[in-house]
Amino acid sequence: MRWRDRQGSENVEDRRGRGGGRRGKLPLLGGGGGILMLVVALVAGYYGLDLTPLLTGSGSTVISTDGGGTAYQSSSPQEEEMARFSSVALKTTEEVWTKIFGDMGKSYRPPRLVLYSEVTDTACGYGEAAMGPFYCPGDQTVYLDLSFYRDMKQRLGGGGDFAQGYVLAHEVGHHIQNLMGIDREVSRRRRELSERDANRLSVLVELQADCYAGVWGRAMRDEGILDPGDLEQALKTAEAIGDDRLQRQSSGRVVPDSFTHGTSQQRYYWFKRGFDSGDPNQCNTFAEFREAGGW
């Protein structure tokens, strides 16, 4: 993905190295000891188990900028590049969704992106790296510990610039749901459903965010900034972070009723559907559920 000569976003806050305090549990939309502990903690965090206290250690802090005045606290040149990339990727989502909302006669309000290390406070409560990237509707902010990109590549089998952009665009997809009132409607409906159907509805929320990320990906392709193999990397990443695959890796068994984000096949399908169509109207993951009487 050819991104290095592009402008970064002005909506980025860097909190790396600051730490954070607890505010309670996180009602969030979303998402490193030895190698085994890192994998266990990451997968456990993905399913809501707090193993962050088992993870220790941090690098030295270096202050640098992205050329546009945004200060990044980085422990390595590689992390600094990921911070810069995240700013640029966020800017591309702003451009894509500003145009889409404009075509609908609406104004787009972009989310903020907070880069943090290990722990941070949010309007939704206490955030931690083991949870992976997440979106908080309370402050309309995406939270990202950059170590997730490294772990996604090294431990979960996904990676690459465009794949990293997909992960960020997925969280921005939750922001789109917030702006369009989808998350509020889903929350209302969940209270009327059985636990099983309510959980299924949550999965559909995540799959729609994947589809919205695919819409962003199609715009990147149309702008001519994707390299050969970028789409394959993103699709591989979508499969790598499917619930069935993560459960199989962490416990050796798959429990569909406990899924939170969808199977590898579902995540692949909905990201590619958004990518192939470039149309957010094609991202109605709830249609079949509604027709079956789910709401």
Task: Label residue 246 by pLDDT band (50, 70, 90).
Answer: low
Given a contact cutoff of 8 angstroms between Cβ atoms, the answer to whether 271 and 217 are in contact is yes
Residues 234 and 271: beta-carbon distance below 8 Å: yes
Q: How far is CA 27 from the centre of its chain?
A: 15
Q: Residue 264 pLDDT > 90, yes or no?
A: no
Residue showing tokens 């969030």: 28
Q: Which residue has the higher pLDDT, 191 or 238?
A: 191
Q: Going by DSSP bridges, is the β-strand pair 134-136/141-145 parallel, antiparallel, or unpaired?
A: antiparallel
What whole-number distance in Å separates Cα of residue 140 and Cα of residue 34? 35
The average pLDDT across 53-58 equals 35
Q: Which of 24, 13, 241 is nearest to 127 (CA)?
A: 24
What global pTM score does this model have? 0.77
- The letter for the amino acid at 280 is P
User: In Å, how far are 58, 123, 126, 153, 290 from 19, measured between CA atoms?
Assistant: 11, 16, 11, 25, 43
Q: Which residues lie closer than 8 Å to 2 by C-beta, 6 or more apart?
A: 225, 226, 227
Report which listed range, 70-79, 148-157, 239-248, is most confident: 148-157
> Interhelix angle for 230-240 vs 264-277, to 10°?
150
Q: What is the mean pLDDT of the chain?
A: 76
- Residue 289 phi, psi (nearest 5): -65, -45
User: Among the listed ranges 138-142, 167-171, 219-223, 225-229, which one has the minimum average pLDDT value?
Assistant: 225-229
Q: What is the bridge-based pairing of β-strands 134-136 and 29-30? A: antiparallel
| CA distance linking residue 61 with residue 63, whole number of Å | 7
pLDDT of residue 60: 31
Express each pLDDT in 14-46 by its tens digit.
999 775 544 444 345 555 333 333 333 344 444
pLDDT for 66 beyond 50: no
- Beta partners for 116? 145
| pLDDT value, residue 190 | 83
Structure tokens given for 114: 């907070």
Alpha-carbon span 83 to 14, nearest angstrom: 9
Q: What is the pLDDT of residue 261?
A: 63
Degrees, nearest 5: CA angle 280-207-138:
85
